[in-house]
Amino acid sequence: MYSNHAVALDKPRRIQASNIQFNTTDISWSAPVEKRNITGFLLTLTDVRRGTLSRLSLPAETQYTLTGLYADTLYSLTLQPRLRSRRGRISEEFEFRSAPFGEKLNLSVLQLIKLNAK
């Protein structure tokens, strides 16, 4: 019998965004320590302003390029490891903002924007 309940698998950690552009960004993370059984990841991406939610089933790699993003938009994402049909613990929420149209941001600039907004 298969279940979609969370299994005792640690969550992905150290999620980072790089090469942030107006319509794409590269996401990377550290897999849980017990990664040998991971068959993939479930990425949940939320456009914070619009409230839209997308779920992507990813392979068992620890990087992915998000495409089709809106310019200058705040996104939130979580990652959850998958073990065949079962799911592990959900990562902490990670937020990033896509670059304004035609610009490219790096994470250090994004962090400064977030700190100044508080």
- Domain-wise residue ranges, the chain: 13-113
Spatial separation of the C-alpha atoms in residues 10 and 101, rounded to whole Å: 37
The pLDDT, as a whole number, for residue 35 is: 61
Query: Which residues touch 20 (CB under 8 Å, ≥6 apart)?
Result: 96, 97, 98, 99, 104, 105, 106, 107, 110
Measured in whole angstroms, how far is the alpha carbon of residue 6 from the centre of its chain?
Answer: 18
Profile the chain (118 residues) by mean pLDDT over runs of 10 residues.
53 94 95 79 95 93 95 96 86 95 57 48
Topology of the domain comprising 13-113:
Immunoglobulin-like (2.60.40)
Q: Which of 28, 30, 11, 36 is nearest to 87 (CA)?
A: 11
Q: What pTM was estimated for this model as a whole?
A: 0.77
Spatial separation of the C-alpha atoms in residues 49 and 4, rounded to whole Å: 29
Backbone torsions φ then ψ of 36, nearest 5 degrees: -65, -25
As a whole number, the mean pLDDT across the chain is 83
Measured in whole angstroms, how far is the alpha carbon of residue 51 from the centre of its chain?
Answer: 16
Q: How far is CA 42 from CA 11, 25, 33, 70, 116, in A?
A: 11, 17, 17, 21, 31
The pLDDT, as a whole number, for residue 84 is: 79
